[in-house]
């Protein structure tokens, strides 16, 4: 994982969290809890019910991984965090992999094992493991570039929601019969994630589409 990309994501996460609460780092929010609950939602998309036929929805699985990353990044902040140092630490931890988690068993079994390991760590430590998250990415075939692209997109969507009445209940989440997340995924496929103005381009594309339903 590129250190500059990680630093950019940390800065974006800080801005988003500050939008919700100006002093968010000192509030003791249980980010670990949000992360393991997202792990449960991911399992629903993978499928775990042996008593019925289930087909993994890998697009939704990977989107859940991205959602986990939002909460995981937040959990890594401390009141005195130096973002550049934290970005370097995360980049180094991405290079590590616990043995076996993403290499043994069927693809579904590997995802189950990696998801449960991440959730278990969150519950036991009330923290977040970058190395276990990286193993989950491997199990889901989610590349670092794809994580960055979808993270930036979802972060921008979160800002877009706030700007259009998410907190007071006036935001319209379903557009033309599809949720905003689906529109976002479609728009991301048309934009260049390596461009300097990628976040702004995502916001403008969302605005143009949202204008057709308001």
- Asked which of 142, 177, 198 is the last residue of a domain, the reply is 142
**How many helices and strands, by DSSP H and E, does the chain display?**
9, 2
Tell me, yes or no, whether 9 and 55 share the same domain.
yes
Residues 36 and 132 in one domain: yes
Residue 100's pLDDT is: 58
For residue 37, give the CATH number of its domain. 1.10.4010.10
176 is written with which tokens? 């033309």
Q: Which portions of the chain are predicted below pLDDT 70?
A: 99-104
Q: How many CB atoms lie within 10 A of CB 40?
A: 12
Same domain, 198 and 98: no
Instruction: Output phi, psi for 49, to 5 deg.
Output: -90, 100
What gap in Å lies between CA 61 and CA 115, rounded to an integer? 11
d(CA 23, CA 27): 7
pLDDT of residue 101: 60
* 163 vs 161: CA distance, rounded Å: 5
How many whole angstroms from its chain centre is CA 119?
15
26 domain-assigned: yes
Same domain, 126 and 171: no
Give ∠ CA 51-106-101 in degrees, rounded to 5: 115
pLDDT value at position 97? 73
pLDDT of residue 104: 66
Under 8 Å between Cβ of 45 and 61: yes
Let me know if 30 is exposed, middle or buried by CB neighbors in 10 A (0-12, 13-18, 19+). middle
pTM: 0.90
In this structure, the answer to whether residues 159 and 189 fall within a common structural domain is yes
In tens, the pLDDT along 110-128 reads: 999 999 999 999 999 999 9
Which residue range(s) make up the domain with 185?
Answer: 152-214
Q: What is the pLDDT of residues 57-82, one digit of tens each?
A: 998 999 999 999 999 999 999 999 99
pLDDT of residue 20: 87
pLDDT at residue 184, rounded to an integer: 93
Claim to verify: residue 163 and residue 97 sit in the same structural domain: no
Which stretches of the chain are assigned E, i.e. beta strand? Answer: 174-175, 178-179
């Amino acid at each position: 994982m590129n250190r500059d990309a990680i630093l950019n994501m940390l800065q974006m996460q800080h801005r988003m969290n500050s939008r919700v609460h100006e002093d968010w780092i000192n509030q003791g929010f249980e980010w670990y809890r949000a992360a393991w609950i997202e792990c449960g939602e991911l399992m629903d998309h993978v499928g775990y019910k042996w008593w019925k036929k289930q087909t993994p929805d890998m697009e939704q699985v990977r989107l859940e991984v991205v959602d986990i990353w939002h909460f995981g990044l937040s959990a890594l902040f401390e009141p005195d965090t130096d973002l550049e140092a934290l970005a370097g630490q995360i980049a180094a931890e991405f290079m590590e992999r616990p043995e076996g988690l993403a290499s043994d068993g069927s693809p579904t079994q590997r995802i189950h094992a990696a998801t449960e390991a991440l959730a278990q760590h969150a519950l036991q430590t009330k923290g977040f493991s970058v190395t276990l998250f990286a193993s989950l990415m491997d199990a889901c075939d989610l590349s670092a570039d794809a994580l960055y692209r979808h993270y930036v997109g979802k972060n921008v969507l979160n800002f877009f929601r706030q700007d259009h009445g998410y907190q007071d209940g006036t935001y319209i989440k379903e557009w033309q019969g599809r949720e905003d997340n689906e529109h976002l995924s479609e728009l991301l496929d048309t934009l260049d994630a390596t461009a300097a103005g990628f976040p702004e381009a995502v916001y403008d594309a969302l605005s143009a589409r949202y204008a057709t339903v308001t």
